[in-house]
Amino acid sequence: MLNELILKMRSEFIFMKFVLKIILFGVVAFAFLLLLETSVLDDAEEWNGHYYQVFSTPMNWNEAKVFCESMGGHLVTVEIPAENEMLKELIASANAEDGKFWMGGTRNIDNIWRWVTENPIHDLDLENATPAENATKLYMDINRDGQWLTESETSQFPFVCEWENVEDAHDSDL
């Protein structure tokens, strides 16, 4: 009788193990199909060979920077006036409550402004930026016609990520 009970339990265990393997295979297959169908660039806007995506979850500047980099991009940089205009439209379409979005501009200890890509920030709009005391990071305020302003890196704003090309983009590792 004990042997029959052990045999029955063993066969039920083997059956349950088989069922769990099938379920696990199904979950893995489903996740793989989702990965094939979605990409970090699915919601990104292509402009002049670069890709831009607005993220409405407020983060401090450093968190936003790391988030963009974890997906193969960087906080948005602006090199020419047409790019600035496109960015204003993209941010305006995001309908953010207060209209403030982090950009990839940062001021170093020598008081020199640079983009996170190490490119210098040209006088595009920085000469009109309103510097805040002890502010070392750059943001755009769409409610002020896209004016660039400075802020402390601890403030929480939505942000825009940029990818130089499609090959750089990948889903976040975070």
Question: What is the tens place of the pLDDT at every residue in 63-89?
Answer: 999 999 999 999 999 988 899 899 999
30 pLDDT above the threshold of 90? no
Least confident of 41-55, 79-93, 115-129, 142-156: 115-129
Q: Is the pLDDT of residue 5 over 60?
A: yes
Q: What is the pTM of this model?
A: 0.70
3-class secondary-structure state, position 127:
helix
Give the mean pLDDT of 108-116: 84
Q: Of 36-45, 78-87, 163-172, give the range with the top mean pLDDT.
A: 78-87
CA atoms of 164 and 73, how far apart (whole Å): 7
Average pLDDT, the chain: 77
Percentage of the residues of the chain whose pLDDT score is greater than 90: 32
